[in-house]
Amino acid sequence: MKAVKLTGKSFGMFPVLMKRYIPLGITSFLSQASLVVSMAAVQNSTAKWGALDPVFGQPQYTQIPLAVLGIVMKFFQIAISISVACLRAAYLWWAIISVPDGRIE
């Protein structure tokens, strides 16, 4: 078994390596950042317009619109994750049966 010794230099930023690994995560970063901005806008508008409602504007009911929003967003997050997984599985299945020698490139 090999041992790896970490030093301060092991945690440095190396431009040569950064050029190779930043493109791998930039799409995920941009989608997560846009999701955070959009959720902030949706939550602020829900809080603002929910307070104008005669029922949900009452102090004991002010948290209900945001709670419902959180539940709906979690449900759709799970649904989208399942959809993406099914599409990925279908793509891999199609790639396996369509390539004569069974290799996926």
Query: Which two tokens mark 38?
Result: 């959009």
Rounded alpha-carbon distances, angstroms, from residue 85 to 29, 37, 71, 92: 19, 25, 21, 11
- The residues spanned by each domain of the chain are 59-100
Kindly report, residue by residue over 87-96, the tens digit of the pLDDT. Answer: 989 988 887 7
pLDDT in tens, 34-68: 988 998 999 899 888 888 888 888 888 888 888 89
